[in-house]
Amino acid sequence: MLDAVGSDSAAILATLETGPLALLFATMHPERVRALILISTYARYLAAEDYSIGLSPDAYVKLSREFAELGPVIEAIKAYRNVITEIDDLDALIADSATDPEMRKLVGAEKPALQMRRQALEQQIRLALIPKDVMDDHNAILEIRAGTGGDEAALFAGDLFRMYERYAARQGWKTEILSLNEGTKGGFKEIVAEVRGRGVFAKLKFESGVHRVQRVPDTEASGRIHTSAATVAVLPEVEDVDIEINEADLKIDTMRAQGAGGQHVNKTESAIRITHLPSGIVVMVQEERSQHKNRAKAMTMLRAKLYDQQRSKLAAERAAERRGQIGSGDRSERIRTYNFPQGRVTDHRINLTLYKLQHVMEGEGLEELINALVTEHQAELLAAEGST
C-alpha cells in the first residue's frame, strides 16, 4: 500500500501502522484510510486551491471537503513524527559517551516536555480518527415542546428556546423559526427552528430528551415549587440526496395563516401542511408570507423527520449494546434538571452538576455542559474501538 502513494503519504501511513496508534488504525474504515492517502498526497494542491491535479470537479470538491476535515489530522501526525524524532535524538545524545555531563543534564531536562507533547498528540490523533457521524457537519432542526406542567411548561419551553438561540449566536450560527404555537400565558406549547452553521448537529445532538425544571412560577402566590418539563428533539437537516421522497406519497394542504401577524393573517392561503402518507408524519409551516417559501421549509422539516425516523429505527435495533450511552438520543429519557431555587443544573447522563444556572440559561454556560457530553461520548467511542 505504501508504494502506491507519495513519500509524504507513506511516512504518515507508516506512523499510523506502527507504534501506539497501530491498534486504532487497524480498526479504521477503508474509506477513512483512502481519504488519508489521497489528502496527504494532494494536500499542497488543496491548500493552494490548485486545480491542476487532474481530478474531476466532483472529485475535487469531495476531496476538498475531506481535506477540511482530515487536514488537521495530517498536520497532527506530522507534528507527532517530529516529536518522536526529537525524543530519539535526545536519547541518542544521552546515550553517547562523548556527551559532557552538563549537556546531558540539559538534554534530560527537555525530555519530559516532549513526552507530554507526544502523549497530547497521540490523544488528539486518536480522537480525530474515531469514525465520525456523517451528519455532524449538518445544520439541525430544533424542536421544543411543552410537557407536563401546563402554562409553566410552556414558559419553560420558551426559556429553553432562548437559551439555545443565545448559544447559537455565540457560536456564530443562525437561528430561524419554522413554526410555533404560543402558550396562553407566554412561552411556547411548541416551537420548531432551523439552526444553521458549521458543526451544529455535532454539538446540539446531545440535547435531545426530557428537560425538567423546578421553580416557583410567577403565578404561584403561595411560593410553592412546581416541577414541569419540556421535550427537546434535535434532528439533522438532510438534503434530497440523503433521503428520497416520492411526491405521490404526499398530501399537501394550503390554508390561511393563524395567530398574530397583522393584515396578512387570514387574508391569503400561505400556510402549508404536508402529510407523508406512508409514515403519517405531518409538518406545518406558516411563518412566511410566501406559500412557496413555506413549502420549501416544510419539505426541509419533513426530510429531517423521515431521516430521523430511519436513524431511530437503527438505534432501536442496537439498543441492547448502546443502552446507557451518551449518544443514544432517547427522547423519553430525563436528561437534565434545572433547579432555580438552588441555582443549579444537573445533567443526569454524566452526573455533572453546575451551580451556575443563570449562566447556562443565558447560553454561555451551556458550552461547558455540551463539551462535557462530547468528551464523554468520545471516551465511549474510544473504549468501543479498543474492544473491537
Tell me the mean pLDDT in the region 194-212: 92
The grid coordinates of residue 66 equal 475531506
66-80, 107-121, 352-366: lowest mean pLDDT where? 66-80
Residue 352 has pLDDT above 50, yes or no: yes
As a CATH number, domain 140-380 is 3.30.70.1660
Residue 221's pLDDT band (cuts 50, 70, 90): low
Scanning 208-290, the segments in alpha helix (DSSP H) are none
Contact 317, 364 (CB under 8 A): no
Whole-number Å distance between alpha carbons of 123 and 267: 60
Whole-number Å distance between alpha carbons of 168 and 142: 11
The grid coordinates of residue 344 equal 443549579
- Residues near 98 by Cβ (< 8 Å), separated by ≥ 6? none
Per-residue pLDDT at 322 = 40
Per-residue pLDDT at 353 = 95
Residue 309's pLDDT band (cuts 50, 70, 90): confident
Residue 326's pLDDT band (cuts 50, 70, 90): very low
How confident is the model over 98-134, as pLDDT tens digits?
888 888 888 888 999 999 998 888 877 777 766 676 7
Whole-number Å distance between alpha carbons of 346 and 338: 7
Whole-number Å distance between alpha carbons of 312 and 306: 10
- Residues near 41 by Cβ (< 8 Å), separated by ≥ 6? 5, 6, 8, 9
DSSP 366-387: HHHHHHHHHHHHHHHHHHHHHH
Whole-number Å distance between alpha carbons of 346 and 354: 6
Amino acid at 370: I
Distances (CA, A) of 88 to 107, 115, 116, 200, 224: 11, 11, 15, 42, 68
DSSP 293-356: HHHHHHHHHHHHHHHHHHHHHHHHHTHHHHTT-GGG--TTSEEEEEETTTTEEEETTTTEEES-
Secondary structure class of 178 (helix, strand, coil): strand
Tell me the mean pLDDT in the region 197-221: 88
H or E element that contains 284: strand 281-285
Give the chain's mean pLDDT: 78
How confident is the model over 253-301, as pLDDT tens digits?
887 766 554 444 445 677 888 888 888 888 888 877 788 888 888 888 8
The grid coordinates of residue 326 equal 451518551
Strands 250-255 and 271-276: antiparallel
More confident residue, 216 or 60: 216
Whole-number Å distance between alpha carbons of 288 and 297: 9
Residue 49 has pLDDT above 90, yes or no: no
Spans of all domains in the chain = 2-128, 140-380
Tell me the mean pLDDT in the region 157-161: 96
Tell me, rounded to whole angstroms, the distance of Cα 344 from its chain centroid.
25
- Residues near 316 by Cβ (< 8 Å), separated by ≥ 6? none
